Structure 1
C-alpha cells in the first residue's frame, strides 16, 4: 500500500488528515446538487482542500500506518518522511499526481496548487449513490401539440346539429343540476357542523384552563433543594504505552504501570477496537514532550503521544 492509500482510508473517517512536513488534506461536506445545463444530479459528498500550513504531526497518519503494517511508530514516521521527500522531488520538475486524492503543481511564486480528484466520494453516508442524468420536462412542446389538436378538431355547426335535442339528454342535464345542488347543500351542512364542534371544543378548553388556574396545590413537607457540582477533569496530551485487542491485556499493562509509580489509566477503545493504555495524561504540551522523550530513552521506544481531549 502506498501513502496515498493510507490517506484515502483516513479521509473516509476524519475531516482532516495531516501529512507531516507536507500539509493537511481537509474535507468539507457539501449537500446534493444539480447541474441545470446538463441535467445531472450529484449525491452529497466531501470536497477536498489542501492547507500547506498544517504540517505538525498529530500522530493520526503515523499511528494508522504503524497499526496497518505492524511496525513501530518511529518506523511509520520514517516511511512518511521518505514518501514526502519523493513527492517534493517530483514537484521540482513536473506535476505530482496522488492516487484518488488529486494533483499538485507549483506556481511561479513557489506555492502548491492543488486540484482534487472528484471521482472519489469520501462521504460514507453517500456510499453507492452515483450521479445520474434526468432529461428536462418539455412542457412547452406539449402545450403546442394541444393547441394544434384544438385547431384541427374545431367543430362547425351543421344542419344536423341544429336539430331538436333529444328528451333523454334534457332529463340527464336536469338530474346533473339537481345532484350538484344537493352536493353543495350537503357540503354546507358539514361545514356548519364542523364549526359547531370547533366552538364547543374551545369552550371546553377554556373551562379546563379556568379550573387549573383556580386550583391550589400544597406540599406539606417539601424536600430541600440539592445542588450537585460535578467537574470532570479532561486532558489533551496522553503518552500511550500500548494498544491491546484483548481488554484483559490492557488491564495487566495498567496494573504494571501503576506498580512502577505511573499515573496510568485506560484511555478507552480507539477506532480500530484497540484498548489504549497511557503512562500519564496532562494538559501541558512541554511536560508531555519531556516525559515522552524520557520514557523512550529509558523504558520503551514504542511509546507515542496522543493529542486528543479525553
Structure 2
C-alpha cells in the first residue's frame, strides 16, 4: 500500500498547488509573523494550506511523483491515487470527517460542501522550519522617584549682601622712587640743553673737493685721442720646449664572449583534473539518497556515502529541501539499476531525480 499522504506533504514543501484528482486542490499561502495578544506570544512566518473544491482536474503531478519514487508504472500509481480518493469519501460518509495526516481534516457542512481545517502546527515553509512560538516578556516599570516640591523664591525675599571693596596696602616706597626719577629727568633736560653753534655745521664741500681731486688727474694724464690710439702690447705665449707631453694611460676593455641564445622549452601543460563529484553533478539523472532541511544532516549522509564506496556523492543545488545524490547517470535505466544496491546503505527512501534542461 502506497502512503499517498506522505507524498502530498513532500509536494507541499516545494509546490504551491497540489491537486487530489476528483477531490480538490491543496493551495499554500504565506502568512507573516504575528503577535497573539491573548496568549502573549509571537508566531513566526508560516506557509499555511487552504483547500479549493473546484480544482478536481488531474494535472498528473501527484501520479508522476509517486511513480518516480515508488518505481512503478504510471497507470499503477494512478490506481493508488484513485483508491486514496475513494477512501477519503468513504470516511466522510461514515465518520463525517476525513483526516490527512500532517495536513488537515475535511468535513461537510449543512449544504454538503467540503470544509477544510488545516493543521496549524505544521509549517510547510522550509526556510522557517523548526521555529516555535516565542513568549513575550513583560517589561517591569521602574519605581517612581519621589517628587521634589520646589518653592518659588521672589526677589524681595532674597537677602541683600553688601560687598565691600578689598583694601590693599599701597607701596609708598615705590611711589617715592618714581617721583625722584621724574624730577631728575626734568633737571637734566633743563640745564644741559645743547646750544646752536658752528660746531654743529659740516665743513665738507663736496663740489669743491671733487674739482681739486679730478683736475690734476686730467693735466698729467694722456689725452682722450691718444688713449684711444694706444695699442696694448701682445702677450707672448710662453712654451716649455723641454716639457714632454704626458701620456694618458689607456684603460683595458674586457673582451665580451658571445653567448648563444637557446629558446626556453615551454613546460608541458598539466591536464585538467575533474573530480568525480563534479562529473557526477553534470549527469541528467541523479540517484537521491535523502532530502533534508538542515545542511549538517545532508553533510553527514554525504560523508557516510563516500565511506560506503560512493566517491561521486555530492549535494544537489535545488530549491526546497537539500538533496544528497549518491551518483549521477546519463540514462534513467542505469540509475534504476543502481537504486537497489544503494537501498542497502541509505534505506528505502532512495529515488531517481531528473534534472530539468535549461531552456
**What TM-score do you get using the length of structure 2 for normalisation?**
0.42
More helix by share: 1
**What TM-score do you get using the length of structure 1 for normalisation?**
0.49
Indicate the structure (1 or 2) with the bigger Cα radius of gyration: 2
